[in-house]
Every structure is written in structure tokens, then in C-alpha cells.
Amino acid sequence: GAVVSQHPSRVICKSGTSVKIECRSLDFQATTMFWYRQFPKQSLMLMATSNEGSKATYEQGVEKDKFLINHASLTLSTLTVTSAHPEDSSFYICSASSAEVPSNQPQHFGDGTRLSIL
């Protein structure tokens, strides 16, 4: 089946550091990639939607200058958390979709990145 690879799986770093998370579709061309954030005991919250070659669309309340998204190719999207602070500590998950008829196709998710800011 389709595979989405997310890297790194875990990051621990100091406050003020910028952290880049990669999301790759391994066996299909992902025209759209999504970034979610999940706090403990809560559901996934969509942060932004990115389409290859264009600017990401951010959900209300998500700072685009804080969470930089790049989707330069059909197989790679990156999320950079700039100047991370402890409140940015969370589980970040990407997903990818290649569907022309999106509602009839599943989305494929990465295994997530656990970000801990000290």
C-alpha cells in the first residue's frame, strides 16, 4: 500500500531552535499534503494544506511565519517550526493524497514527529 515517511520521529531541542520535519510520499505523487498537530489526549488538528508548487493554506489561528511549509516536489513537503518554544511541543503528523477524486480515496499518514522543546 501507499507509504508516507516522516522524519525525524522524535526531536528534543532547546527553546529558540528551529526544527525541520520532512514528509515524503514513497510510492506515489502527492499533489496535496496536510500537516496536523496533536496535543496529548486530544484529536488531530489540521494546521495547513499544501499543494505542490504553491503556497500553503493555513487554518485559522495557525501562524504562517511560525510554521513554514514548503512543498517543492510531488514527493516532499517540509514543516519548519521556527524559534520553537515549549508551547510548541506536540506530536506533528503529515498526510498525503494524490486523488483526483479526493473524497473517494484514503489519505496516507506518516508516523508522526514527537517534538519536545526544553
Partner 1 sequence: DAKTTQPNSMESNEEEPVHLPCNHSTISGTDYIHWYRQLPSQGPEYVIHGLTSNVNNRMASLAIAEDRKSSTLILHRATLRDAAVYYCILRVNGNNRLAFGKGNQVVVIP
Helix/strand/coil percentages in the chain, nearest 5: 5, 50, 45
Cβ of residue 16: shortest distance to partner 1, in angstroms?
26
Interface pattern 54-73 for partner 1 (x via CB under 8 A): --------------------
Cβ of residue 27: shortest distance to partner 1, in angstroms?
15
7, 13, 22, 46: which one contacts partner 1 (CB under 8 A)?
46
Helix (H), strand (E) counts: the chain? 0, 11
- Which of helix, strand or coil describes residue 26? coil
Determine the Cα–Cα distance for residues 78 and 94; give it in Å rounded to an integer: 9
Q: Which residues bind partner 1 (CB under 8 A)?
A: 4, 6, 32, 34, 36, 43-46, 49, 91, 93-95, 97, 99, 101-104, 106-112, 114
